[in-house]
Structure 1
Amino acid sequence: MSSLSNEVQKNRPFCSHAAAGKEAVRRCSEAKLTTDYRFPFSVDSDRILHSMAYTRYIDKTQVFSLIRNDHLTHRVLHVQLVSKIGRTIGRFLGLNEDLIEAIALGHDIGHSPFGHDGERFLSDICLACGIGTFQHNAQSVQFLDKVERKGRGWNLSIQTLDGILCHDGEVHDIALKPEINKNFRTLETEIDTLIHHPETPLTPMTYEGCVMRMADTIAYIGRDIEDAIRIGIIRREDLPAASVAILGETNGTIVYRLVTDIIASSQAGEAIRFSPEISHALFTLRQFNMEAIYLNPAIKQHLHGIRDLFHLLFSRFMDDLALRRENSPVFTHFLHHMDKDYIRSHRDAAIVRDFISGMTDSYFLEQCPESLRPRTIRMG
């Protein structure tokens, strides 16, 4: 590391339990990183920002698919909010903000088109094809480690990839303490376990990964409420009174109170945690969101049609691979110039999984017959 980098590092207020840049471990060593003025986890952030998959965030659904409203949250905004919230918490706890940022920016890169509904449809197909379920957090690692740069991957640190794999913001945690001493073999084992046993709990290897997982929940819980109010499927007065009394009723207040509570309740070396009162209020609000927003039939009008299109495209691209139809998009837009090691090590079903899951919502629909494409609806 350069003298400039060493001098800056001395002045950073890291606590003793923060992930140190010098401990970043990559699959392949890179000599230039030992003299680069950038910190190793900052390099990870830069590589994720410049990935092809990151550019596609802008047209990936967060919650509301096929709804015309320019002010709804898409994944590109969500990951920025997660990064901001996570770095704020990390700063006050003396953790490594560069690592938090890298995990945050990359954590949802593996999401399929059409959000969690698309993930469920693709998972059913993958399971039927014998390659395990589809899990977006495992797919995020797959993209960054094995698909990007035409199959060479970005050679990110194990700390970043582990945080991405273990980020599951849908799990309600009152407290998280890292499981240390993981390596790339651990990563591969956890990915394999996850896709074949999706309920398996995973815990990050760093305090930064624990913070990012909490930040994921904080970033979406209130923002989804604001989006749902904006399109008229809930009213602010519908929010559960018990949660409102503790967390407030607007996204800004909810975020502030959750972040403040984590900072006040956590201590690196012990656990990243919510207080019991805040945790219960958050759990109640999450239950409300699930019933009133995520399962609301008003935003599921095209669900069956989208499911059928996932099956149609998967079957079509499988046939294209089997019959070597090299004018197919799976060849021209995905496998063209792909590293031979990637092709040799992936079954056809895994190749199609990677191709489809990387699509934006609009590109996915472009691959479908025009007569079968669902129409967007205006809400709000």
Structure 2
Amino acid sequence: MKKEELVIKNTLQMTKEADEHLSIYATKNSDCIKIKQTIKDKEEFDIRWPFEEDIDRILYCKSYQRYVDKTQALSFFRNAHISKRSIHVQWVSRIARQIGRGLNLNLDLIEAAALGHDLGHAPYGHVGEKALNEILQVKGYGYFAHNANSVRNILFLERNGIGYNVSLQVLDAILCHNGEMLSKKYIPDTNKTINQFWREYDDCWHKENTSKKILPMTLEGCVVRISDVISYIGKDVEDAIRVGIIKQSDLPKEVTDILGFNNKSMINRLIGDLVIHSYELPYLQFSNEVFESLKCLLNFLTIKVHQHPVLVKENAKLIRMIKQLYDIYYEELTDLENENCKIKTFVAKMSSTYQSNDPALIVADYLSMMTDSYVLAEYESIFLPIQHNEII
């Protein structure tokens, strides 16, 4: 037997054995369903396991590279240690893998979904998302939600509109990751079909609040969903303390008595409690006391941090800035006589299928792909006067 045949045989055997050792509630590698039908060269051999391919496609896509210049909740504070989107997805991946290992789930599926869950986030996080959501409603297109836009990025925007062939299970976990929705129990929708996935994806764009209603099809998707909450809630508190919005002593006693005072203790308690109370079950759940404490912390964070007067004032400026840019880009895109503009150059590079999209959605794509600093540079270039040296 040739060495190549031995490697192929060994890889397939390892995959089969790995599936046999997973929890009965885990997603098996043999269950992986690629969303697009592609034909590989018969001579080509890929040593990666099915969901490992998804990890690599996400890691090397342009949307992932843009994480580095997209911030989290505190967009306008100049501090190197304020959470950025790039490190957030790594934290989600690490936390989710810890939970997944404790429950003996498919770690490759978890990692791919965790790393890709925010690919479609607009610049300035949920502030940019809110602006684009309001714009698309005014335009009569529908709604903008970063979870659906993350799926859109990897499938329909990457590689100039060709997209990547990613698995149904990973895409579904990304679509259903909603980290703003807290539940005591996370039960996967295990009967979900590929047709249902597409309906839910479409509904996210055209039916209000769909993102708050849909459930992951896998237990791994549920793990990523709760890991999103665990990863940001303690860090947002620490970031807010670091910039002076709140003090550690402001934290409710109901929180500190159960979860502790800092991000490390919060993460440890939440992961441990979840694994203990979900072990060998077809769903995830917290204990009553930990869930109530977590719910209290989330409410505190919303009121005292995310709705803090300083953030509300500055976020209003960011929303106004994004809306003004959108209006300029939309005008340029729909102006038949204006051929010399960046957005038309962008569209010209995309596939013919992409070019047939509604202009309202194309402009939303164009803006949502931008990083924070690029949006600011564009705004300054378009709306602020340029300082010239004296002409002699």
Deviates more, 1:181-190 or 1:307-316: 181-190
Q: Measure, in 1, the Cα distance between the counterparts of 2:257 and 2:249.
A: 12
Which residue, out of 104, 124, 129, partners 2:134? 124
AA at the equivalent of 1:350? L
Matched to 2:80, the amino acid is: D
Cross-structure match for 1:87: 97
1:323 aligns with 2:329: no
2:371 corresponds to 1:360: yes
Q: 1:266-288: per-residue Cα shift (whole Å, max 9, x none)?
A: 03552111111111110000001
Once the two structures are TM-superposed, the CA of residue 177 in structure 1 deviates from its matched residue by 1.5
Match of 2:190 among 174, 180, 184: 180
Matches within 5 A, 1:244-259: 244-259=256-271
Aligned 8 A contact 2:180 2:229 in 1 = yes
**1:321-351 per-position Cα deviation (integer Å, ceiling 9, x unaligned):** 112433322123x32421101112x100010
Is contact 2:25–2:282 with CA below 8 Å preserved after alignment?
A: no
Give the whole-Å Cα distance in 2 for the aligned partners of 1:57 and 1:372.
26
Bigger Cα Rg: 2
What is the aligned partner in structure 1 of residue 83 from structure 2?
A: 73
Identity of matched residues, %: 38
Number of residue pairs the alignment of both structures matches: 371
CA RMSD of superposed structures (Å): 1.8
Whole-angstrom distance in 1 between the partners of 2:295 and 2:303: 13
Which amino acid in structure 1 is aligned with residue 342 of structure 2? P
Task: Identify which of 11, 28, 51 aligns with 1:5.
Answer: 11
In structure 2, the CA distance between the partners of 1:91 and 1:32, relative to structure 1 (3 Å rule), is: farther
One-letter code aligned to 1:362: S
Q: Is the 8 A contact 1:4 1:37 kept in 2?
A: no
Task: For residue 294 of structure 1, report the CA deviation from its aligned partner.
Answer: 0.8
Aligned-partner residue type, residue 198 of structure 1: N
What is the Cα deviation at residue 35 of structure 1? Answer: 4.1
Residue ranges of structure 1 left out of the alignment (5+ in a row): 374-380
- 1:24 paired residue number: 32
Q: Deviations over 1:93-115 (max 9, x none)?
A: 11000000010011011111111
SS in 2 for 1:298: helix
Which segments of structure 1 move beyond 6 Å, counting only runs of 4 or more?
Answer: none
Contact 1:309–1:368, Cα closer than 8 Å, also in 2: yes
The secondary structure found in structure 1 opposite 2:313 is: coil
1:64 lines up with 2:74 in the alignment: yes
TM-score w.r.t. the length of structure 2 is 0.90
Q: Provide the C-alpha distance between the structure 2 equivalents of 1:131 and 1:272, rounded to a whole number of angstroms.
A: 36
1:1-380 matched pairs, under 5 angstroms: 2-12=8-18, 13-26=21-34, 27-31=36-40, 35-195=45-205, 196-198=207-209, 200-324=212-336, 325-332=338-345, 334-344=346-356, 346-370=357-381
Tell me the TM-score normalized by structure 1. 0.93
Offset of residue 66 of structure 1: 1.6
Find the aligned partners of 2:213 and 2:41 in 1 and give their Cα distance.
37
* Equivalent-residue separation in structure 1 for 2:54 and 2:16 (angstroms): 21
Q: For structure 2, list consecutive stretches of 5 or more residues without a partner in the other structure.
A: 1-6, 385-392
Q: Distance in 2 between matches of 1:271 and 1:43?
A: 26
